[in-house]
Amino acid sequence: MYLSRIELNTRRKDTMVALASPERLHATVESGFPSSADKKFRNLWRIDRLGNVLYLLVLSDGKPDFTHIVEQFGWPGAEQKWETKDYAPLLGRIELGQKWQFRLRANPVHSVKQPSNSQAQKPTKRGKVYAHVTVQQQEQWLLDRAAKYGFSLQESSFRVVQQEVKKFQRQRNPVTLGIATFEGILEVEDVALFLRTLICGIGRAKAYGCGLLTITRVSS
């Protein structure tokens, strides 16, 4: 596994157009890998803002070539094109009971079964999907799912730091995503589950920049 980071140039029109279209960014990320590559896991990505700098962060099974992203949306003349680091050392350090500072950009949703129009009809199994819109709903969404992803949270140990609604077209159909960015401290409860979460992500809309969980040492 590899974690890559590309600085984006928000002064460029093409960059701003791509940021407005998660589907286009997804296609751009995927084109950084050979079409013949045998992938065990899907590529995860998200947009991160650190201070005044915007980055594209990508977790991938194979080592990427993001020259095209730098040329289209980055700083082609800069010495630092993009950073790619081996993710294995971090994964190898995960232990039960550890506390990590985390960041997650996710699509918190819930499904509601639709009532049937007649006694002969049955409600659909999955139901209609609705976004959680309030901070309280979004935080509860993550609290409720933490255990199945191998970690635990305290209500006071994390928070929603950003909310966003993305509207775009997918194959001429309108798509609306409610996105929340979470930051805080988690504790590892199940090493195997947590490792899978780091590799496979959390929740829906992973093709559109959601689901990637990243961790760093807790600052003292």
The 3-state DSSP class for residue 196 equals helix
The residue among 25 and 38 whose pLDDT is bigger is 25
Over residues 5-27, mean pLDDT: 91
- 137 and 81 co-located in one domain: no
Of 86, 113, 138, which marks where a domain is finished?
A: 86
Q: 66, 4 in Cβ contact below 8 A?
A: yes
Question: By C-alpha distance, which of 136, 218, 211 is closest to 181?
Answer: 211
Domain region containing 155: 97-217
Over residues 137-161, mean pLDDT: 95
- 104 and 202 co-located in one domain: yes
Over residues 70-85, mean pLDDT: 86
**CA gap 159, 179 in Å, rounded:** 14
Length of the chain in residues, anyone? 220
- 193 and 129 co-located in one domain: yes
- 114 and 23 co-located in one domain: no
Which of 38-42, 108-112, 171-175 has the highest average model confidence (pLDDT)?
108-112
Range scoring the smallest mean pLDDT among 73-77, 79-83, 92-96, 97-101: 79-83
Over residues 152-164, mean pLDDT: 94
- 126 and 33 co-located in one domain: no
pLDDT of residue 70: 93
- 18 and 105 co-located in one domain: no
Confidence of residue 212 (pLDDT cuts 50, 70, 90): very high
Q: Is residue 183 part of a domain?
A: yes
**CA gap 212, 201 in Å, rounded:** 5
Of 37, 61, 86, which marks where a domain is finished?
A: 86
- 104 and 74 co-located in one domain: no
Residues 6+ apart with CB under 8 A from 51: none
In order of 23, 96, 118, the CA distances from 56 in angstroms are: 14, 30, 49
- 114 and 174 co-located in one domain: yes
Over residues 94-113, mean pLDDT: 92
Confidence of residue 35 (pLDDT cuts 50, 70, 90): confident
- 78 and 110 co-located in one domain: no
- 41 and 149 co-located in one domain: no
On the question of pLDDT at 123 being above 60, the answer is no
- 110 and 207 co-located in one domain: yes
Q: What percentage of the chain exceeds 90 in pLDDT?
A: 65
- 109 and 194 co-located in one domain: yes
Q: What is the mean pLDDT of the chain?
A: 89
The total number of structural domains that make up the chain:
2
Q: What token pair was written down for 153?
A: 């949270």
pLDDT of residue 3: 97
